[in-house]
Chains A and B, each alone.
Chain A
Amino acid sequence: MDEMELSIAARWRKAFDLSPHGLAGFGLSALIVLVASAAAFPFREMTEPENLTMVYVLAVVFVALRLGLAPAILASVVSVGAFNFLFTPPYYSFSALNSASYITFGIMLVASLLAAVLTSGLSARLAEAAVAQNQTRLLLDLSRDLSRARSFEEVEAALTRLLEPRYGASLRLEAGHDLPLAPQWTGKRWLQPLLAQERALAVLALDFADVQRASGAEQLELETVATLAAGALSRIIEADHASHAVAEQETERLRNVLLSSLSHDLRTPLTVLSGTVASLLRMRRRLPREAVDEVVELQQQITRLQKFTGNLLKMAAISAGQLKLNAEPYALTEILGAALQRMADIRERRQLRTAISGEIPMVVVDGALIEQVFSNLIENAISHTRENGVILISLERAAGKVRASVSDDGPGLSPGDEDVVFERFRTGTAGLSDRKGPGSHGLGLAICRGIVEAHGGRIDARNNPDGKGACFSFTLPLPKEGEDA
């Protein structure tokens, strides 16, 4: 476990250590040579000196194994000196009797240097292998923990658990905007971005006790860690999106079911009510006069209720953002024509006039919805005018769009009402409150705005320039060249 306690940088620094502790290594290596000399000394007279060189090579190997290359080189040189001094005649002198001894010294030096280099290389590789194994272990543990992580916090916890003891730094995972895209120091803090598709998902921040230099190996390791964590994070983000989408679909399905069953449950009794009242009215001749008046009043209220129910359901659909446009090319005149046809019953006692200026190009719209905009605006105008009031509907072409306006000769809008009339459940304060017709429940105009804006158009209200009555107008964008039909 000592590998866990030493950082990789410390491990690398140890190999080339020239600190007082490192210098002790050189002293120690000299001491080991001295011990080897003492061990060999009793055998000086029993055997040929060449046989004793092995004791020194053994010492050098030991030094190389335990203390590293530099002390081992020193040990080699000291060994040759000691061997010469102690074991070759003449004793206690650095000179030699015959030239064969010099060959022995040479071979001994080469052999012990070779042993030193090979041994220290071996031990360095062993150390490297330990580091690599340790790193592989770390990355394995990390990827296992990350694959189990289901949230940002769990990713952070996995990183903290494995990296804090390894680096001796406190770790935080930070998300947000303007994250750095390259690893960097800020003060005593190392920032390692977690990148996915060249975007930083989060930043791994390591707070060290003091400023350090990260070695290449450490940087590489942190980069690998960051890649693993980024993979885990983007998987979590995607899963999050997917479950959101599923939830949204489910909500929309529920909303649809709710709306259509509401629609059915509200409309069926209304249909039966209005049908029953209609058949009652067919036998009006057999009913007392007062009863006929009551039935007529009943019929008016049912019509109101039907209108209101229709608007409420349409508004619910618009608010739920589920207005699906079934867009097709139309001449606006035919849609207006259809709206006027359908209003034949209620337009009585108002004068409806139309003004078409020039050629009106085709628009690509949802015909049924735009018909409803016309109907609602005309109904609104009817409810704000007196008998024989004039309602003028005009169509004209403007730059890149078509404008439709419905203006009346009623009391007009109070100052400040221009914007609020399109809000839900608002009616113009200057409305003829005692003459409210079926359209004056404050939803009709909000529906108009919802529909027009869904088509990319705009709707506004103002008073006529001559100060008589209000004018509601909306625009619809014309299809761009080449994309019509």
Chain B
Amino acid sequence: MILIIEDEVQVRRLLRRSLEALGHAVSEAEDARSGRQAILHLRPDVILLDLGLPDEDGQDLIRSIREWCEIPIIVLSARDQETEKVQALESGADDYLTKPFSPIELSARIKVALRHAARTGTTGEPVYEVEGLTVDLAARRVTLDGADVHLTPIEFKLLSTMIRHRGKVLTHNQLIRDVWGRHAPDGNQGLRIHTQHIREKLGDDPLSPRFIFTEPGIGYRFAAGGGEA
């Protein structure tokens, strides 16, 4: 079941129609207060949250939801300001949709969010497979179309972080924190260079990427792998 927290009634109606057409059950809330209650009582699988709610700052609401539950949050932002999206992601949102969004985009984001929600609580898969690329976390082995790929420890760590969250956008800061911890020696520059090296080793052309997609101003998104659901 998908919960829509959005103050504009027309946008709620549009989302309901689109989501019901995709076969989802939908529930609506028009502000942060009723949204919180709905989360408590209905335990939705995914939350679609508008950042411009009348009664509370969207960023605060994300942080407070994250204090007590892990339900995936997809942020709806009417503003095209990348910093706002980055802030929402770092507050605990899982993904974002910029208005106007296409129904295809919406369904792709929901699919990724549901898959991540399903995996929460399980011990995690030791082996990931996306478009001919396999990453074996336990054996620390990476193969591309059957051939071994040699990565440095940092590159392996970066790739496994991306692939664990595949289909989801990760901000620069989230990646740096995950891979290097609090004290990243060369920050963004280091992240760019290592990503570039991984791309070279995977034969991934940044002009038409197969695995690692750049979201300018925000971060990276690893290919979701269309085959899975």
**Residues on the A chain within 8 Å of B82, using CB:** 326, 367-368
Q: Size band of the B side of the interface? A: 35 or more
Interface residue ranges of B10-39 to A (CB < 8 Å): 10-11, 13-15, 17-18, 21
Is the pair B79, A270 in contact by a Cβ cutoff of 8 Å?
no
Of A271, A334, A366, the contact of B99 (CB 8 Å cutoff): A271
A260: B residues at CB distance < 8 A: 79
A342 to chain B, nearest CB (A): 10
A272 smallest CB distance to B (angstroms): 4
Please, which residues of chain B bring their CB within 8 A of the CB of A269? 10
Q: How far is the CA of A264 from the CA of B10 in the complex (A)?
A: 13
Q: Among B60-68, B110-118, B151-159, B212-220, which stretch is in contact with chain A?
A: B212-220
Interface status of B172 (Cβ within 8 A of chain A): yes
The residues of B that contact A371 with a CB separation of less than 8 Å are 216-217
**With a CB–CB cut-off of 8 A, which chain A residues contact B207?**
333, 336-337, 340, 354, 356
Asked if A370 CB lies within 8 Å of chain B CBs, one says yes
CB distance from A87 to the nearest CB of B (A): 108
- Kindly list chain B residues whose C-beta atoms are within 8 Å of the C-beta of A278: 18, 102-103
- With both chains docked as a complex, state the minimum distance between the C-beta of B153 and any C-beta of chain A, in angstroms: 21
Is B217 within 8 A of A368, CB to CB?
A: yes
B192 engages A330 (CB within 8 Å): yes
Flag if A272 contacts B83 (CB, 8 Å). no
Q: Please, which residues of chain A bring their CB within 8 A of the CB of B99?
A: 267-268, 271
Known: A267-B78, A278-B102, A328-B172. A367 touches B208 (CB 8 A): no
Does chain A have a CB within 8 A of B196?
yes
* A279 and B189 contacting across the interface, CB-CB below 8 Å: no
* CB-CB under 8 A for A275 and B103, given A264-B78, A326-B217: yes
Which residues of the other chain, B, contact A356 by a CB distance below 8 angstroms? 207
**Which residues in chain A, 322-377, are within 8 Å of chain B measured between CB atoms?**
326, 328-331, 333-338, 340-341, 354, 356, 362, 366-371
A274 touches B100 (CB 8 A): yes
User: Which residues of A262-308 are within 8 A (CB) of B?
Assistant: 263-264, 267-272, 274-276, 278-279, 282, 306
- CA–CA, A68 and B4, complex, Å: 102
Cβ-neighbour of A276 out of B14, B192, B214 (below 8 A): B14
| Contact of A337 with B102 in the complex, beta carbons under 8 Å | no
**Bound-complex Cα distance A279 to B79 (A):** 24
A485 touches B216 (CB 8 A): no
A341 touching B213 by the CB < 8 A rule?
Answer: yes
Q: Is B188 within 8 A of A328, CB to CB?
A: yes
Residues in B neighbouring A335, C-beta threshold 8 A:
214, 216
| In the assembled complex, B8 has its CB within 8 A of some CB on chain A | yes
B195 → chain A, closest Cβ, in Å? 8
A267 touches B18 (CB 8 A): no
Give complex CA distance A272, B8 in Å: 10
Q: Contact: A338 with B215, CB < 8 Å?
A: yes
The reply to whether A275 and B214 form a contact with Cβ atoms under 8 Å apart is no
Residue A310 lies at the interface, judged by CB distance under 8 Å to chain B: yes
- Cβ of B215: which chain A residues have Cβ within 8 Å of it? 338
Q: Is A484 an interface residue (CB 8 A)?
A: yes
Contact assessment for B206 and A337 in the assembled complex, using a CB-CB cutoff below 8 Å: yes
- On chain A, the residues within 8 Å of B205 by CB distance are 337
- Tell whether, in the assembled complex, residue B18 and residue A329 are in contact, meaning their CB atoms are under 8 Å apart: no
Known contacts: A275-B18, A368-B82. The answer to whether A331 contacts B186 by CB under 8 A is: no
On chain A, the residues within 8 Å of B18 by CB distance are: 275, 278-279
Q: Which residues of chain B are near A274, meaning CB under 8 Å?
A: 100, 102
If A272-B14, A282-B21, A331-B196 touch, whether A267 touches B100 (CB-CB below 8 Å) is yes
Task: Chain B residues near A276: list those with CB within 8 A.
Answer: 14, 17
CB 8 Å contact bits of A409-448 with B (1 = contact, 0 = none): 0000000000000000000000000000000000000000
Does any Cβ of A come within 8 Å of B52's Cβ?
yes
Q: Are B214 and A367 in contact (CB under 8 A)?
A: yes
Provide the residues of chain B in CB contact with A370, threshold 8 Å: 216
Q: Could you tell me if B11 and A271 are in contact, using CB atoms closer than 8 angstroms? A: yes
Q: Decide: B102 and A367 in contact? CB cutoff 8 A.
A: no
Query: Is the CB–CB distance between B14 and A271 below 8 Å?
Result: yes
Nearest-neighbor residue (CB-CB) of B76 within chain A: A271
Q: How far is the CA of A275 from the CA of B101 in the complex (A)?
A: 8
With an 8 A cutoff between CB atoms, is B209 at the interface? Answer: yes
Interfacial residues, chain A to chain B (CB-CB below 8 A)? 260, 263-264, 267-272, 274-276, 278-279, 282, 306, 310, 313-314, 326, 328-331, 333-338, 340-341, 354, 356, 362, 366-371, 484-485
The contact sample of 7 A-B pairs, CB cut-off 8 A, is: A264-B52, A264-B79, A268-B10, A329-B189, A335-B216, A366-B217, A367-B214
Contacts beyond the supplied A326-B83, A338-B215, A368-B218: 4 A-B pairs with Cβ under 8 Å: A271-B100, A274-B100, A366-B217, A371-B216
